[in-house]
Every structure is written in structure tokens, then in C-alpha cells.
Structure 1
Amino acid sequence: MLAVITTENDGNAVGILDPVLLARPLEFILADHLRQRNLCALLERLAGERRFNPALAASVADYMADELSIHMLDEDEDLFPLLRRRAVPGDDVERVLGLLSREHSDADRQLEGIVNGLREAISAGRTELDASLAMTLRTFAHRKRRHLAVENAIIMPLAEARLTPKDSEGLARRMAVRRRIRLSPGASA
């Protein structure tokens, strides 16, 4: 289903998505979910290493500050409202979407503290990560994995089944605008 979606990374980066994939917004979201699973592994690695890894911390902080927030906006402002409009009796989508939106709000509140903590450790030249921040990284990774499992098992199949081609085109456009990427005309499929 997914083509090659990320560039190879050196184990110290989350990876980069090909912007062309935005033309297929559900595939883009799934690909970003793969990056988020990689993020979880990197967070746990940062939390568990004896010596603080500033290059890894910078990569993680940059992704969390720049791209993770945008991903949550894609879902909260565009994908989830589309699913609500396309729901049919028996989908029970509102309960799940409400839970996921609350989890996005919680994650959004944690992002600033994590990003600031990692960047402060980098600028201070720390050799080890503060125990409290390490625990926050582990907790965030655990919750994010559970969140992704729900999205991948319930929301994404529902989106594939319910969204119309026009819905997908609009979703692609809004996601591209959010990233300041120009889609070529007729690029959505």
C-alpha cells in the first residue's frame, strides 16, 4: 500500500517524508505514524542512554517542535471533522475521536516541556539527561504508541472506507498549505 515514504536515517533522526506523498493524504498520515513510532524508540533511547546524545536530542526536539504539532492539527482540524461528517450509524466514531482529540491536547501540552528540556540540556552541555525528563520521555513514548495503535487500527481504516475523493483532495490541500508546500494541480488521488 505505501511506497517508499521515508529517507534512510542514521539512527539519530526521525526521517523525512517525501512531500509528493501529500497528494495521497491518508498514506502521508500513515507514513507519519511510522515516523512517530520511530520517534518513540528515539525518546526511549535518549531516556536510557548513560551519556546524553545532543545530536539525537536536537533531531527529536526539532521533529517534535515543528512536525508533530502540524500532524496533530491535520487530524484535529481536518481528518477528524471529515470522519464525523461521513460517519454512519454504528461507526461509534465520536467516542473514539473525542478520546484521540483529548490525547492530542495532552500531548500538545507536554511537547513544549520536552522540547525545552532537550534544548536546555543541549545548550548547557549536559553529559546526562535529568531523571525527571527521562521519565517524561518514556511516558510520552508509551502513550504515543498506544495512541498510534488506536489511530491505525480504527481511524485510518474508517477514513479509507468513508472519505470521498473530494474529501481526500481537500485534505491534501489543507495539509500542504499547513506545510507551505504547493501541490501540483490534480495531484490528489
Structure 2
Amino acid sequence: MTEISLDNTVAAIAAELPGAAELFRRHDISFCCGGHVRLSEAAVKAGLAPSALVSELKALEQAAKRDAPEETSDLIGHILDRYHQTHRAELAWLIPLAQKVERVHGDHPSAPIGLSQVLERLRDELESHMMKEEQVLFPMMRRGGSPAIAHPIAQMRDDHEEEVEHLRTLEHVTHGLSLPQGACGSWTALYTGLRKFTDDLVTHMHLENAVLFPRFEAQSPAAS
């Protein structure tokens, strides 16, 4: 995981640290289009003391470490139940709701044009990713792993990078999940659901990248 320091970019931290995206939104810090600036610059531009922003992010980092079971088999079960099934269920209603908001409010300057397409691409790639974990990677892990496990783990990490790009696009087309004045109930429900979904996805990736995968990557020949 990217270390939290003033030299890191906003985009890198938002993509890897659960809760960081919402923290940045709360401080009006963009992490899609303007996300490639250093944390120090972003803090100053937002009128914040850089050290205070780092402290808030480090508190999120500590919270993320307490998010899931420690034992590997229990952690895998947690990822399957809390994230795989939840992503599927939420995307099943977020996509049609996004289509409705785009259709009804398409002439509004803040309309999230293209959002449903972003979510459909993310759903398709995420479904493929989760199936590979469920059918190949997680069973290997539950059997104790093997030197051959390095390849599927590397592929999952690559998939995560693609998912991060979709999240940045989502942030862009929704203008930072910013609701316009007087937004209807459907639009409000859509963005509320997207906030939870996107933070869940970052937490899911964090648990795999920073907690689960490193336990098995040490088995690869390159690590020995």
C-alpha cells in the first residue's frame, strides 16, 4: 500500500485507503481530474494544514487494519460474504437507477452522463475478477497455497488497477458525487448508494492487496 506522506498523490491514496475518497470529498479535494497533485499541495489549496490532513488519513489507515478477521480462511470468507455478494447485489440496482437519472435529468448541467455505462463495464470486469478468485485463487489459498500462486495473484493485482481507473471515471462523470441543489430522491439515492459501493470496493481491494495477498506472495520462487 502507498505510504501516507505529503509527497504521495491524492489519486494514489484515494485508490488504496478505505475512507480516503469520502474524506477528500468532504474537504473539496479532487482525486480524479486533479488527483495527481501531491498531498501537500492539495492540502494547502483546500485551506488545510498538511499535517492535519495526514493525521486524518492515518486515522483511517488504523481503522482499516481492524476491518476484518485475522485468520486466513475467515478473511477469505469475509471477503466473499461482505464484498463479493454485496457488490453484485448493489450493482444490480445501481445500474438501472443510474440509467433512470441519466434519462430523466439528461439536460441538467450536473447530470452524470455516461455513469450507467461506467457501472456496466465495472460490473462485467468485477464479475470476471471475483469468479477467478472464487474458482481458482481462493481455493488455492485455502489449500495452503503453492509456488504457482504468484501468477493468479499478479493477475488480481492488475485487475485492481483497472477497477481503480473505473472508479476515477465514475468520480469524474458524477462531479465528485456532488448533488445539485434540489436533486430528486432517485438522484440522491443513487449517489448515496455509490458512496457506499465505491468505498466498499476500495476496502475490498485494500484487504486483498495489503493483507491477504502478501501472505502468499512469499511462497513464489522470486521471493525465496
State TM-score, norm by structure 2. 0.45
**Comparing 102-111 with 138-147, which one deviates more in the overlay?**
102-111
Tell me the residue number matched to 1:8.
63
Kept in 2, the 8 Å contact 1:83–1:163? The answer is no
Letter in 1 for 2:68: A
1:86 is aligned to 2:86: no
1:167 is aligned to 2:222: no
- Unpaired runs of 5+ in structure 1? 15-52, 176-189
> 5 Å matches for 1:125-164?
125-126=144-145, 130-155=149-174, 157=176, 160-161=179-180, 164=183
Structure 1 residues 140 and 11 mapped into 2: Cα distance closer, same or farther (>3 Å)? farther
Letter in 2 for 1:10: K
1:68 is aligned to 2:87: yes
Tell me the residue number matched to 2:138.
119
State TM-score, norm by structure 1. 0.51
How much does 1:85 deviate?
A: 1.9
Letter in 2 for 1:155: T
**Comparing 102-111 with 120-129, which one deviates more in the overlay?**
120-129
1:98 is aligned to 2:117: yes
- Unpaired runs of 5+ in structure 2? 1-25, 28-59, 195-224
Structure 1 residues 167 and 100 mapped into 2: Cα distance closer, same or farther (>3 Å)? closer
User: Within 1, Cα distance between the matches of 2:137 and 2:80?
Assistant: 7
User: Within 2, Cα distance between the matches of 1:127 and 1:95?
Assistant: 42
Kept in 2, the 8 Å contact 1:65–1:112? The answer is no
RMSD: 4.2
Kept in 1, the 8 Å contact 2:68–2:78? The answer is yes
- SS, match of residue 145 in structure 2: coil
Question: Percent identity among equivalent residues?
Answer: 10
Count of residue pairs brought into register by the alignment:
136
- SS, match of residue 161 in structure 1: coil
Kept in 1, the 8 Å contact 2:101–2:186? The answer is yes
Higher relative contact order (CA 8 A, sep 6+): 1
